[in-house]
Amino acid sequence: MNLAEKSLLGDGASQLGIALSASEIECFGRLTEELLRWNSKLNLTSLKDMREIIIKHYLDSLTIYNLLPQGAIVLDIGSGAGFPSIPLKIVRNDLDILSVDSVLKKINFQKQIARLLGFEKFRPVHARLEALDDGEKGRFDFAVARAVADITVLARLAKPFLADHGKLIAMKGSRWREEIELSAKELDGLGLVVTESRELRLPFSGDERGIVLIGKK
Cβ burial of 129 (10 Å; 0-12, 13-18, 19+) is: buried
The class level of CATH for 3-216 reads alpha beta
Question: Is 130 labelled as part of a ligand binding site?
Answer: yes
Element containing residue 83 per DSSP (H, E): none
> What's the pLDDT at 44?
85
> What's the pLDDT at 116?
97
Question: Is 196 labelled as part of a ligand binding site?
Answer: no
Residues 6+ apart with CB under 8 A from 119: 89, 93, 113
Closest by CA to 202, choosing from 50, 11, 66, is: 11
> What's the pLDDT at 152?
94
> What's the pLDDT at 26?
97
> What's the pLDDT at 90?
98
- The rounded average pLDDT for each run of 10 residues, N- to C-terminus, in the chain (217 residues) is 95 97 97 92 83 95 96 96 97 97 96 97 95 93 92 95 97 93 94 96 95 95
State how far the Cα of 135 lies from the Cα of 95, in Å rounded to an integer.
19
CB atoms within 10 A of CB 49: 9
> What's the pLDDT at 127?
95
Element containing residue 147 per DSSP (H, E): none
> What's the pLDDT at 215?
96
> What's the pLDDT at 40?
85
Residue ranges of alpha helices (H) inside 118-166 are 151-158
Would you say 72 and 142 are in contact if contact means Cβ atoms under 8 Å apart?
yes
Radius of gyration of the chain (CA): 17
Question: Is 129 labelled as part of a ligand binding site?
Answer: yes
Cβ burial of 158 (10 Å; 0-12, 13-18, 19+) is: buried
> What's the pLDDT at 199?
95
> What's the pLDDT at 147?
79
Question: Is 146 labelled as part of a ligand binding site?
Answer: yes
